Amino acid sequence: MEQKVEIKKYMNNGILNLEKIVDEYSGYVYKIAQNMTNGNLCLEDIEEIISDTFFILWKNTNKLDEQKLLSSYIAGITKNLVREKTRIININYDISDYENSIEDLKSVDMLCEERERKDIIKKSLKKMKEEDIEIFNLYYYSSMKIKEIARVLNIPEFKVKSRLHRVRKKIKKELEKGGYSYDG
């Protein structure tokens, strides 16, 4: 491909011979895109830039100066498209990175708080009677109803309710000392 060719060579009765230009200049456009991005654009993005370059050239046929070099127009269009594409990719990348880091920080904070709350609950449970611990575990960790707990432990329901109420109160007090609230 000669890069010192004027546009008039590709014009015929005011119509641009786009097929010939695409055949001769596709490699040139590809090379510009590759060099500008150090090979960091995927093939689909480069193919899109190549097709957009020739579309823009065709769309602006009536604005072309036939005495100018075709390679200058093609290089200018390609460079603008590459800049636009990398800008869009960088914006998308930066925003998604930022969102992910925020989510990660929220997750880490929430996990730390949850672990601290569980530690406080464990410590306060260790200070309680075995039967109270068992009632608490059956109710919260085994998801048993008060009736079921009463049947399993062979104690009256009112006793399960009152012990569960006392356990909650003690845990709530300990959580509040640690700066947490308890919605038990």
| Whether residues 26 and 93 fall in one domain | yes
Count of domains observed in the chain? 2
Q: What is the pLDDT of residue 2?
A: 46
Longest dimension (CA), the chain: 102
Q: Which domain holds residue 147?
A: 127-177
What pLDDT score was predicted for residue 1? 46
Residue 87 shares a structural domain with residue 135: no
Residue 92's pLDDT is: 54
Contact (Cβ atoms closer than 8 angstroms) between residue 48 and residue 94: no
* Per-residue pLDDT at 154: 93
What tens digit of pLDDT does each residue of 26-80 get?
889 888 888 887 777 788 888 898 899 989 888 888 888 888 888 888 888 889 8
Whole-prediction pTM value?
0.47
Position 99 scores a pLDDT of 54
Write the single-letter amino acid at 3.
Q
Q: Which residue ranges in the chain fall short of pLDDT 70?
A: 1-3, 89-109, 181-184
- The confidence score (pLDDT) of residue 93 equals 52
The reply to whether 92 and 131 lie within a common domain is: no
Here the CATH number for the domain that contains residue 54 is 1.10.1740
- What DSSP line would sit under the chain, residue for residue? --SS-BGGGGEETTEE-HHHHHHHHHHHHHHHHHHHHTT-S-HHHHHHHHHHHHHHHHHTGGG--TTSBHHHHHHHHHHHHHHHHHHHHHHHHHHHHHHHHHHHHHHHHHHHHHHHHHHHHHHHHHTS-HHHHHHHHHHHTS---HHHHHHHHT--HHHHHHHHHHHHHHHHHHHHHTT-----
Q: Give the model's pLDDT for residue 90.
A: 63
